[in-house]
Amino acid sequence: MGKKIATLGDTKHILTCSLYVVHKRYDSQIERIPFSSFEKAIDALKKGEVDSCIVPCAYPQITNFITDLQLEITEIFLETIPNLVLVGINKTKPKSINRLFLHPATESIIPNFLKDAFIEKIFVSSNSEACRKLKENPKNSIAITNELASNHYQLYLYDTLRTKMKMPFIAFSRIN
């Protein structure tokens, strides 16, 4: 197997934007290593367990990796990510919404009608986790996620928030 590339993702399915991009960009040239957080992926990189770590520039804590003295940026590239969508478990959007599950990187695309102070925003570590949390807490809840995760978890689409969005990604390597 080729180079080991770490990123945020589920172990069995390509459901996160980051894992989708790694698969799309590097395909069979690499071994994809998914982690439950970017921090865990970076830790594996620092320990030498993987060769590289891919992080989207939209990740709110990316500056921690950029300024880390043990890491260097080896590549910056643009890739189109899956559509970002607003979803729920029922065919129609709930009339009363109490809870919104989302990854912090998607906070800026929250629709205006959901910016109500009475709606609890629950931040999760990935788009796929947003779907799992929604399925675990369905009453008056919705989620912002990507189409890959939404389709996998068989959720209903209420709105497409971003289409064909190009996202910059940074590849990190360990300084030897």
Decide if pLDDT at 11 tops 80.
Answer: no
- Cα separation values, 173 from 17, 42, 52, 77, 129, Å: 20, 9, 5, 15, 27
pLDDT at 32: 73
DSSP 86-100: EEESSSS--SS--EE
Same domain, 123 and 142: yes
pLDDT at 28: 65
pLDDT at 171: 96
Structural domain range at position 102: 84-162
The tokens for 79 are 């890739």
- What CATH number is associated with residue 92? 3.40.190.10
Per the structure, the count of domains in the chain is 2
Same domain, 123 and 107: yes
Same domain, 43 and 96: no
Determine the Cα angle at 115 with ends 109 and 119, to 5°: 120
Q: Poorest-confidence range of 86-100, 102-116, 141-155?
A: 102-116
Same domain, 71 and 10: yes
What average pLDDT does the chain have?
Answer: 91
Same domain, 72 and 91: no
Same domain, 151 and 117: yes
Tell me which of 105 and 67 has the higher pLDDT. Answer: 67
Same domain, 150 and 92: yes
Decide if pLDDT at 34 tops 90.
Answer: no
pTM of the model: 0.85
Same domain, 16 and 69: yes
Same domain, 89 and 67: no
pLDDT tens-digit map of 115-147 = 766 889 999 988 999 999 999 988 899 999 999
Same domain, 31 and 9: yes
Once rounded to an integer, what is the mean pLDDT over residues 45-57?
A: 94
For tokens 């205006």, name the residue. 112
pLDDT at 62: 94
Same domain, 77 and 94: no
Same domain, 29 and 60: yes
